[in-house]
Chains A and B, each alone.
Chain A
Amino acid sequence: MSRYLLDKFLFTVDRDPELTERYREDPAGTVTWWEAEMANTLLNSTAAERTTWLAFDDDERRALAEHDHVALFTMGAHPFLTLTLFIAMFERDHGPMEYQRAYARAMDHLSMPYPDIST
């Protein structure tokens, strides 16, 4: 399990407007492409300096491919990253604050302590 890689996915997709739209429209395809092409990119370096060992496990791949923000939360993905990206993708389909409140309601069954988010 790699909380770091989940966070890296959310971080890199959120900051790139084209990738944000692509993930909204084609989540499974974007996750497959991202894991193959982007997961092992060292972000502040050149393309040649690739990391060799980062990969999702099946549950992580599924949660991302299904836009399952509740599963991402329970896996310990950083809640700020997930929230920011999901607002960018889905707030537009709802009235003011509706999406943010529905996002919270979907997690009503979760209680303290929350999952560890350390990486």
Chain B
Amino acid sequence: MAELVAVVASTHHPFYYRASTSTGADRPPFADEWVAKIERFRETLTAARPDVLVMVGSDHFHQLWLDNMPQFLVGKAPFFDANWHNEEREFGLPRMTLRGEEELAAHLLRDGLDRDFDLAFSNELRIDHSITCPIITLRPEADLPIVPVYTNIFAPPMPRPQRFVALGQALREMVESWDSDKRVAVIGTGHLSLELGGPRQFGEHGPDPEFDRKAVGWIANGDIEGCLAEVTLDSLHHPGNATHGFMDFMLMMGVAGAGQKADHVDTLDLFHTMEAYFTWYPQGDPR
């Protein structure tokens, strides 16, 4: 059976690519510290020597739209083109093409449906920065095949936080039941407190540093119970109007497992939002 060699959860910050590649007067003052943290984070994935990446993210109204909106979707295709016009325009993100791992995608779809997750699928999916940001930060060679898993954290009505955790728990079992000798890493990105298009956006810190502090604690300690006791679809409005992206972190806590402390934890307090990086090694720390 396939081996789950790393579980990685991260914020996805579309400004990282430009900040890390800019020079001279264009380079922001926080870029060097940010790059150093990302390089340490990247080493945690490299050390696990994955063959395949399951990439959990959320389409930002690029291909998935309100006339036909899935809650959870698996991309099954030999290739995935990436990044969209408005991401090039606003963030300077490059166009990319990633290989797909169709056998694992087919397995996740079959097994997921049989576990009562009515997963939608796409055979022609152009992925966006929720998946390419972690490729850029964690595997900039972009050389490994992927299986994208999209969640709806964007367009109400959304599944409840419990459902994200349950899908994460199931995703782990599904990966570990894949009849393959491949080494699989599951990487998922979301947000801590975040405001987009509202009065609290682009402040000196994220909109709710207290929520961020608690959230980092829940994730780092695998405290699913504590997290679910406080986080609901309604409560997530308060830390910032885009904070439902935190549910992708909850999904990743499900993949990592209840009570599992992360082997790597790091944060970076930036303007507008706090960055947070976590890695678990289900088979033991290979470093």
Binding site for B on A (CB under 8 A): 4, 7-8, 11, 14-15, 17, 42-44, 69, 73, 78-84, 87-88, 91, 97, 100-101, 103-105, 107-108, 110, 112-114, 117-119
Contacts and interface: CB of A to CB of B under 8 A. Distances in A.
B117 interface: no
Contacts of A88: 86, 89-90
A103 B201 contact: yes
A79 B86 contact: no
Contact of A84 (B90, B157, B198, B271): B90
A89 to B, nearest CB: 11
Q: Is the interface of B mostly helix, strand, loop or mixed?
A: loop
Contacts of A107: 198-199
Given A112-B237, A114-B241, A104 B65 contact: no
Contacts of A114: 198, 237, 241
Contact of B202 (A81, A104, A110): A104
B197 A43 contact: no
B60 interface: yes
B66 A4 contact: yes
Q: Which of A7, A44, A84 has the largest count of B CB atoms less than 10 A from its CB?
A: A84
Contacts of B156: 117-119
A80 B202 contact: no
A78 B61 contact: yes
Contacts of B198: 73, 79, 104, 107, 110, 114
